């Protein structure tokens, strides 16, 4: 059973007219019977209607049902219904910084992450499109959303590691893929006006971002972001600012913290802090967007997290306005009633 509400509930008052129309119909039928009995015997009247009584009432009943349907349609009903044919997109944002070479998760963090990502691609429902963003000092769209699991798996295997960790950039780039009409630009957010000072005269002027109205966090059930990171941000857009952008668009971020919370014991001097998970920030990213945070300290835990996320995406729902569908059904019912009336009685009953 799915929740339903009405955008214009005041039109539901029209349903009160249905009992009045039914009472009017009954009154007209009785009046017609009384008039008929004045000119014929009771036996003749009974013979005239024997076996055909239901035919007389079916067209008016269908017309009354159609009117009730139109009244409900006028109230603009909206329901949350499963739409397996609707486009559902998951963006995977994978950290490919050099710290992913650390072996605290055997054989290395990167190898474990690649194996878990491919397990996820096998578990996620086939109708859901998956895209991939890789990030280190900068972020890149490694694969746009697609249903081709083989190409995604090949992309996972071809990952190249780099320096730096731009977690916020990765989130913003995922949003740019999910909402291309909003013209979200990672460069502008990272450098602001400084990004335009070196623009070539040959560059075309970008259209201004389209205005959008913020929605409730986690309310977008047709898209999600899975973020895997093993360190803390060292450059790019502020992580929490990027999370706020996702929350304003209703996109949940499921965060997987990979590696050791306390850093790597044998790390070079001054590097331990960069190999340490920034769990408070990553947890806040998940909380702000209505997602979840998972810590995966072992390869098995990482695989389990991805499998759970894959099964959680099984049923995706959307709020769908049923006005057009209900109005069309009402018109078809009215057409059937009118056709039967003309077929049986030669007039609109």
Q: Are residues 330 and 308 in the same domain?
A: no
Whether residue 204 lies inside any domain: the answer is no
74 alpha carbon, distance to own chain's centre: 26
Q: Are residues 131 and 20 in the same domain?
A: no
Whether residue 311 lies inside any domain: the answer is yes
- The more confident residue out of 276 and 280 is 280
**pLDDT over threshold 80, residue 198:** no
Q: What is the pLDDT of residues 286-296, one digit of tens each?
A: 999 998 898 87
Query: Could you tell me the residue range of the domain that residue 172 belongs to?
Result: 89-188+210-315
Whether residue 291 lies inside any domain: the answer is yes
Q: Are residues 309 and 325 in the same domain?
A: no
Q: Are residues 234 and 324 in the same domain?
A: no
Q: Are residues 93 and 69 in the same domain?
A: no
Whether residue 44 lies inside any domain: the answer is yes
Whether residue 280 lies inside any domain: the answer is yes
Question: How far apart (Å, rounded) are the C-alpha atoms in residues 334 and 71?
Answer: 13
pLDDT, mean of residues 156-166: 90
Whether residue 124 lies inside any domain: the answer is yes
Question: How far apart (Å, rounded) are the C-alpha atoms in residues 236 and 225?
Answer: 18
Q: Are residues 53 and 142 in the same domain?
A: no
pLDDT, mean of residues 134-158: 93
Burial tier of 254 (Cβ tally within 10 Å: 0-12, 13-18, 19+):
buried
Q: Are residues 171 and 38 in the same domain?
A: no
Q: How many domains does the chain have?
A: 2
| CATH code for the domain of 281 | 3.40.50.410
**pLDDT over threshold 60, residue 98:** yes
Find out whether the peptide bond into 107 is cis, omega within 30 degrees of 0: yes
Q: Are residues 164 and 75 in the same domain?
A: no
- What's the CA angle centered on 204, arms 203 and 207, to 5 degrees? 140
Q: How far apart are the first and last CA of the chain?
A: 37
22-36, 64-78, 228-242: which range is least confident on average?
A: 22-36
Percentage of the chain modeled with pLDDT above 70: 72
Q: Are residues 231 and 117 in the same domain?
A: yes
- The more confident residue out of 112 and 45 is 112
Whether residue 9 lies inside any domain: the answer is yes
Question: How far apart (Å, rounded) are the C-alpha atoms in residues 110 and 156?
Answer: 10
Q: Which residues pair with 296 in a beta bridge?
A: 258
Whether residue 96 lies inside any domain: the answer is yes
pLDDT at position 60? 87
Backbone CA torsion sign across 249, 182, 139, 115: positive
Q: Are residues 38 and 97 in the same domain?
A: no
Q: Are residues 231 and 182 in the same domain?
A: yes
Q: Are residues 173 and 93 in the same domain?
A: yes
């Amino acid at each position: 059973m799915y929740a339903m509400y009405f955008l214009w509930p005041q039109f539901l008052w029209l349903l009160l007219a249905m009992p009045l129309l039914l009472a009017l119909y009954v009154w007209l039928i009785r009046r017609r019977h009384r008039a008929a009995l004045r000119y014929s015997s009771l036996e003749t009247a009974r013979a005239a209607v024997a076996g055909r009584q239901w035919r007389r009432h079916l067209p008016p009943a269908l017309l009354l049902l159609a009117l009730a349907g139109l009244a409900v349609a006028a109230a603009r009903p909206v329901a949350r219904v499963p739409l397996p044919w609707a486009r559902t997109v998951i963006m995977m944002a994978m950290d490919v910084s050099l710290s992913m070479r650390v072996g605290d998760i055997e054989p290395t963090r990167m190898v474990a992450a690649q194996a878990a990502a491919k397990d996820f691609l096998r578990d996620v429902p086939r109708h859901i499109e998956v895209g991939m963003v890789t990030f280190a000092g900068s972020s890149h769209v490694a694969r746009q959303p697609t249903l081709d699991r083989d190409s995604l798996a090949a992309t996972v295997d071809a990952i190249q590691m780099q320096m730096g960790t731009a977690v916020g950039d990765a989130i913003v780039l995922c949003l740019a893929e999910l909402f291309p009409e909003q013209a979200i630009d990672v460069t502008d957010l990272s450098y602001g006006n400084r990004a335009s000072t070196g623009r070539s005269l040959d560059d075309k002027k970008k259209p201004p971002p389209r205005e959008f109205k913020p929605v409730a966090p986690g309310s977008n059930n047709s898209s999600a972001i899975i973020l895997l990171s093993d360190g803390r941000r060292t450059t790019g857009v502020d992580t929490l600012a990027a999370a706020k952008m996702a929350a304003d668009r209703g996109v949940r971020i499921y965060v997987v913290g990979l590696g050791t919370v306390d850093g790597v014991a044998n790390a070079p001097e001054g590097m331990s802090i960069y190999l340490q998970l920034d769990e408070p920030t990553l947890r806040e990213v998940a909380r702000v967007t209505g997602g979840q945070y998972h810590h995966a300290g072992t390869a098995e835990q990482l695989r389990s997290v991805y499998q759970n996320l894959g099964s959680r995406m099984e049923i995706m729902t959307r709020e769908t306005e049923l006005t057009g569908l209900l109005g069309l059904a009402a018109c078809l019912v009215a057409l059937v009633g009118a056709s039967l009336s003309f077929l049986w009685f030669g007039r609109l009953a």
